[in-house]
Structure 1
Amino acid sequence: MMDWDKLRVFHAVAEAGSFTHAGETLNLSQSAVSRQISALEDGLGVPLFHRHARGLSLTEQGEALNHTVRDIVAKLTMTETMIGESRDIAKGPLKVTATSAFGSTWLTPRIGEFLSLYPDVQLTLLIDDTELDLGMREADVAIRVSAPRQPDLIQRHLMAFRSHLYAHQDYLQKRGEPQSVADLANHDLITFPQDMRAPFANTHWLRSLVDSTVARNRTVLQVNNLYAIVRAVESGLGIGAFPDYLAKERPELVRLLPDLSGSKVDAYFVYPEELRHSKRIAVFRDFLIRKVTESQF
């Protein structure tokens, strides 16, 4: 059985990259830290660090051990927070991941209100179109635009949205408003690159409306970020397709061909089963549901 005190010292050294810095974190002398690591290596019968002039680096065995210890530390930290969390007061760290467009444009402006209601919650937002692993504690909560496939995750339907075509009113004054899909052949288009992974299935909707020749000849900008597409449309560069919530608070944008829309996309509030009773997650979930209702998605 490995000694937890030695593992705790090992983890600190692995994260700090030196005995000295780890000792400062643990309030131990460099020699005490070195002795603990040597004892752990002797007990395991393998070296855990490469020692060189620039500092320390993990061996292959050290990497494997640190991966496990890091997971244990994260779970202990979470458990400690949950144990200390009052049934009536939401407090402690809360790490939330959301897609770049939704997180940057809709979620972030509303965070101030949430923090004023729950000042004891230390919120971290991770804005990323890749799916972080909730099981590995890369985040506590995810707002995703597809249902989770992992069986140990709890999901709550948050909203559904559709995409439409939009252009800035200044662009339309110069170029006129298209009255049919065929008219798009006479307009400048802003699209998501077809050969790149889209954040949700609806992202390539504009390209699918026109034939490949029009898409190739009339696309003036390809950009792999929906918020960037909105900003390009706002600048008057051309016509873009994006979810309606991105245009809702931008009255200068005009919805085009309103009878045409992309397919419905569902968004979910997702978190691990082990956090089912977390007060922090409960209040954040309820806050988002209330704000979604107010936004009339």
Structure 2
Amino acid sequence: MAKADHWVADLPQTGRRFVVTGGSGGLGLETARVLAANGADVVLAVRNVAKGAAAAATLTGSVEVRRLDVADLSSVREFAAEIGPVDVLINNAGVLAVPYALTVDGFETQLATNHLGHFALANLMLPQISDRVVAISSDSHRLAKLDLTDLNWERRPYKGFTAYTTSKLANLLFTAELQRRLTQTGSTLRSVAAHPGSTATSITGNTGNGFKTWVGSWGHKIAGMSVEKGALSSLYAATMDIPGNSFIGPDGFKEMSGWPTGVARSRDAVDPDLAKGLWERSEELTGVRFPLPVAPTE
């Protein structure tokens, strides 16, 4: 894959419809802003509709606000049932290193928000998607070790950042297994992933630890990129002609900053057995299954 040196988001998208989860701020809002400015019809899928409406008012172009709480499977099902045809789903919403808590469905918050909700959303929407699913991961996935027997942190001492890295590894395993299944069925849909490097957003603001929040916020501001540049990886993954299971990130030092390009991932992130195992556990937990018939393997 060619490096997108000095790539600028000049992306004619007229006639194409995008759903951006977590679109009321940060990378999601910037992604939506560029897409709408280039002619796309953009749906901001947000938990707080009032905040989403205020964000949408700052954008130019065709923008719609719809309620979606990816940490609540009933909300996910309702949204998927009503959304209609979509070209691209960008699974962007996320939380980082939050204190331990359970969602209404009984799942650990980061697992639910960053992985399970988006897993369910993508599978429920898949028959209505015409182009691709984009998962927003993180380079911190390299630090994760996924325990399929304890996804909910019921046996292990909970560590907020470790749970975050695990959820970001889950995003890449989801991307790989979804692409495998799409290819096996002969579908032309693509499953791809991206990460924004070190980008200054408000995602570090809910750790429950003032020092960690301060370090995360200022670290990104000092060593990282603006939201405008950080969103380029997401935009590249969502609009460029790239192969399925691509992983897009910044091309600079340790992928902290730079222009979007294809990047590597950890050994665990390309483990097909781990990807299949996570998929099966995710189906069990959410009650949502891959909606297309999967051809038998030879």
TM-score (normalised: structure 1): 0.27
Give the number of the structure whose alpha-carbon radius of gyration is greater: 1
Whose relative contact order is higher, 1 or 2, with alpha carbons under 8 Å and at least 6 apart?
A: 1
The structure whose residues are more often strand, as a share, is 1
